[in-house]
Amino acid sequence: MKYYLGLFLSFLLMLGFPSLAFADVGIPMIVYTWPAMILALIPVVLIEAYVISDLLRVGFKKTVIPSSVANIVTTVVGIPLSWGLLFVFGLLIMLFGSSFDISSIRQGIVSVLVIASWVAPMGGQTFWFTFYSLVTSFVVAFLVSVLMEYWILRLFFRGADKKLVKKTVWIANAASYALLIVSSLILFYFFLD
């Protein structure tokens, strides 16, 4: 209840003193990635079901439900979890003294890691930093997805070899995340530049 009261009072304060509200502070990257991942759910489920079917030698129809369950869970739980991990990681980097700087490749990579959970105004570099942040968030989401989906698929395919299930999950997620990265690059190129 205190949270909502604080949010309401902040809203009233911004209405009363609009000069205190800044529009250039950035937007959490999850605002963009989560809805996009929900829209991509059907193609991702089908791609991963196909890979699971092929590698585990199971009929395609028998893999659609396990793939659906695994991907719904990783979309609903895994995407926010991966964003939270990126956010905490960025805070830790800033806490231990790394400043935002793109003068070297090393510092540029560190800077992308710091801002990977946020879309921040970066002048002429906003497009590329947003794309790099998206790819970074995909890498973390990929790792979280592999871990979560492995355990879910183990429940569905109890008789299958654990190593084969692990390999299948890695390959299935590599295929679906490759599609997501290429699709994002195409969207960025045509709509955001």
Q: What is the predicted pLDDT for the residue at 49?
A: 97
Question: What predicted TM-score, i.e. pTM, was given to this entire model?
Answer: 0.75
In a domain, 19, yes or no: no
In a domain, 16, yes or no: no
| 10-residue stretch averages of pLDDT, the chain, 193 residues long | 58 53 61 78 95 95 96 91 85 67 63 68 64 82 95 94 96 94 80 60
How many Å apart are CA 122 and CA 25, to the nearest integer?
Answer: 10
In a domain, 13, yes or no: no
Q: What is the predicted pLDDT for the residue at 13?
A: 54
In a domain, 186, yes or no: yes
Query: Longest Cα pair distance anywhere in the chain, in angstroms?
Result: 64
Q: What is the predicted pLDDT for the residue at 100?
A: 54
The domain of 178 spans: 24-192
In a domain, 74, yes or no: yes
In a domain, 72, yes or no: yes
> Under a CB-based contact definition with an 8 Å cutoff, are residues 148 and 74 in contact?
yes
In a domain, 135, yes or no: yes
- Count of domains forming the chain: 1
In a domain, 4, yes or no: no
Q: For residue 119, what are the β-bridge partners?
A: 27
